Amino acid sequence: MYTEARHPKTQAGISLVELIMFIVIVSIAVAGILSVMNVTSRASADPMQRKQAVAVAESLLEEIELQSLTFCDPDDVNARNALSTADCATVQGLGRTAGETRSAEPRFDNVGDYHGFSMSGIRDLQDTAIAGLESYTASVNIVEDGASFGLAAADALRIDVHVVAGTATDITLSGYRFRYAPRAVP
């Protein structure tokens, strides 16, 4: 009787079913990784927006810090000689002096004038819109903070400039202005 030797069949490659399963698994993994990267890149701030927002905040903060910090409104005739608010006809507090604006005469002339200032769409000192910054907003908050330095509260102001650009860029810069020359007027 003739008998055939049975040899186990060896696999020479992968089957079609195994190949399809591999492709499906790898496709799901790649789709998951790409969706995570998409969410991450959308939520991250655009570097150009961030740089522009920081530049706007720095510029506005410097503009404010360069203003006078006097007891009286600098337009007050007593401003040069005032040693306290009691010597003033017009006390310069935190808030806009009536009639003064950032961009037209009469202009802001004291740090306190900028308290509560805000702009939607960044504008220069001549009130001209700056191209490309129309969607940015900036706001200023000023608080008396002399006590943090062992001074009278009104002798140091903390200036917070807040700039928002788009949905992911939100910058706040803070600076201080001290009343180191109370009788100096511009």
* 10 against 111, higher pLDDT: 111
Q: What is the pLDDT of residue 154?
A: 84
Query: Which range is least confidently modeled, 7-16, 120-129, 150-159?
Result: 7-16
Type of residue numbered 65: E
Average pLDDT over residues 72-76: 82
Dihedral-angle region of residue 104 (phi above 0 means left; psi in -120 to 50 means alpha; beta otherwise): beta
Beta strands across the sheet bearing 118-120: 118-120, 136-144, 156-165, 169-178
Q: How confident is the model at residue 48, as a pLDDT? A: 83
Report the pLDDT value the prediction gives residue 114, as an integer from 0 to 100. Answer: 92
pTM summary value: 0.72
Q: 90 with 73: CB under 8 angstroms?
A: yes
Q: What is the pLDDT of residue 118?
A: 93
In the chain, where the domains are located: 12-44, 47-178
Whether the ω angle into residue 186 lies within 30 degrees of 0, i.e. cis, is: no
